[in-house]
Structure 1
Amino acid sequence: MTGPTEAGTRAHPRTALAAARPVRLAVTDLLGLGLLGIRTRRTRAALSALGIAIGIATMIVVTGIPASSQAQLMRELSALGTNLLQVNALPDQDPPALLPAESPGMVRRIGPVTSVSAVANTHVLIRRSDRTDPGDGSGLTVLASQLDLLPVINARVEHGSWLTPATARFPTVVLGSVAATRLGVLDVSPGDGPGQQVMIGDRWFTVVGILAAVPLLPEIDRSVLVGWPAAQAELGFDGHPTVLYVRSLEPAVEQVRAVLPETVSPQRPADVLVSRPSDALAAKRATENAFSALFLALAGVALLVGGIGVANTMVISVLERRSEIGLRRALGANRGQIRGQFLTESVALATLGGVVGTLLGLAGTVAYAGYHHWPVVVPLSSTLAGLGGAVLVGVVAGVYPSMRAAALPPTEALASV
């Protein structure tokens, strides 16, 4: 029969084994230990986190601003219309290529085409007055214009009025926005006089309107527009259009683009050039946004510098806290717990910098986009990548210091007390 003493003896090894088994730290306890170093060394922690914050903020700003600019571009193109096609005769041809006078009517017969208008270069110079140099055209072009031009190119009159069937027969003009500035015409209200006039060739023309800027067609901004009948009667215009502006149904733009050369000039389709102004504007913006790659590289450098700063802080923290490490080891903390404490501190420090950097980046993007009246767009991928990068930097920066702390013998650590 087994007595109480023998039973206690048998139970004793199990109790000793349970006592020797290391205690698992709860996540909250591990987090509390990790934040201890940050709370007690706030200035050093803030400076270390600042490097991470700058890198993350830069990353978000250089992705958010181009994304906002792209959204604004899409908004502009949607407002101006991405279904606008421009038809020109190829320049520098021998003999010179001309668009047929009846080409606008021919293009209107294409099923998906919704509207067509035309302008023509009159090859006549314009002057502000008869006292300026007759050979100085101020870099402006005098165009004969059909009356339905404005709705086709989605332009609007900013001052005065557009040409009418009556005024298009008389020497009157409408100026593009740039042309008005170069000619010094800022107001078209006649008041008590006949209104402002400009000289085209050797004839005076009265300014009846000024157009607002047309982003897709800067050549219209630099033009002086004369009615089609007045150009034929006063300037010797031969009736051949130089440029056709064509609107079509959005899904059929490419099909219309393919058949336009044969429709406009069946005899010489190779001499007809069809372009899409919105593509040129999109390409320009894409070229500008290419610089964002450089800033992303700078953001990566900032993250690297921030990571080095965190690693340096953690190494110094290990050296300064040798007595704490020795005391914890003497009280039963194993190497894994010491390693987890310092690795948690490193990750928490980098994550803090990542959160601050994310907030700074969002604020910077919102401020810049708001200043330019753009929609605010911050790619979710860049935000998540920024936070994930911060955590990764914290892990990498904390591996060596945490291993060094865990490898420190308790007796050697306590000897530094």
Structure 2
Amino acid sequence: MKRIADFPMHLQIFFAVLSAIVLVVLCTIILWLWNDDNNRNLSAFATFSELVEQNLPPASAQKSVQSAAIDDWMQRTHARFALFDANGQLLSRPLSPEIPLPKQARRGGFFDDGYGTRFVWQLQDKRLLVIEFSSDRRERPWLFIIMQLALAVTVALIAFPVIRRLTARLESLQQSVEALGRGNLAARVPVTGKDEVSQLAASFNRSAAQIETLVQSQKTMLANASHELRSPLMRIQMASALLAGEPAQAQHELQRSVSELDTLVEEILTLSRLEMAQKVIAGEFTATDVTALAAEECARAEIDLVAEHIVAQVDARLIRRLMRNLIENALRYAGQEVVMRLYRSDPDNLLLTVDDRGPGIPTSEMARIFEPFFRLSRNENGTGLGLALVRSISEYHDGEVSVINRGGGGASFRVRIPLLHNFT
């Protein structure tokens, strides 16, 4: 036998709602029946019956007189009356349908049926007065029960499509998760409404988009890396063949190719780790004298530095790499009048620029200059990863990098980085 937990979620929720509705309806009906309205108003009926008794002829009066008095009360109250003597003989005129003789008699009055339609009152002289009210009182309990059941059915019919719509969205989310797990990185969930389910669907879509972008980036990087590795490997192979003829030249070529391979592998690994997730690299953001780092790198490259003293919370190793890549890029493509500037762009951010007087960046290629393995069409030197690393390091520090062409020729690379970082 199936358990409730074995059914689909929408049926489980519907069964729970339906059970709650049925329980509430049953409790309402039981309380209504238990809270006997007839007994609660018993004193009022007794007072009325006592008033009738006071206006009836005595038991010694002729039967016709007593019957006429009962007829008078029936006309005045529009209710049915029956009067019985102490021996159970009918004193009033017969009615159709007849009012039966009560099975028992007691002082104080009582209802002798379960519907509260007949009230029995024993007079002082042992006569029995039976007052029968409208027969619709007999139908009231059933009308109430039917109304309660109809209300339960109505709520159930309204609740089912609402529950089904909600769980259908969850099922759609489940299918998308399974599709993503099977490798369909383009799987997305339609976002409808503004409730928690729609927020969950939007979160899933954002996560799926990030995963798709990340996987695609890694695929592209691996494809480009395999292509870039062919050139130094081929040169190493050629240098090995030249060892027998010109050892000095072959050794120089080997050293250059190995150095290029080492740089390429290091840049690929660094870029890959930066793109994988935030702060996954073994490094810490500490208070660092950024001006001192800039001075060291400018001195090493023998370029000018214009800076104010700045201390910021950064990863010193990555910031040094960012500066070095920008300087080497400027020297490689421009080679003249390279200047680094460092200052506060506002109270919360530092701005580092590297300016040159080279040929500048072609407008058609400016949008792709920070992509991995992209090289300007006029120059095939380098690995094509230097500026991609600059962008990743900037974003890793919650900053940004941009490039513009300078008036009078040359390019200006600008990196904005916050001075402080919140790690909570």
Give TM-score, length-normalised by structure 1.
Answer: 0.24
Instruction: Indicate the structure whose relative CO is greater, using CA pairs within 8 Å and at least 6 residues apart.
Output: 1
After TM superposition, the score normalised by the length of structure 2 is 0.23
- Larger-Rg structure: 2
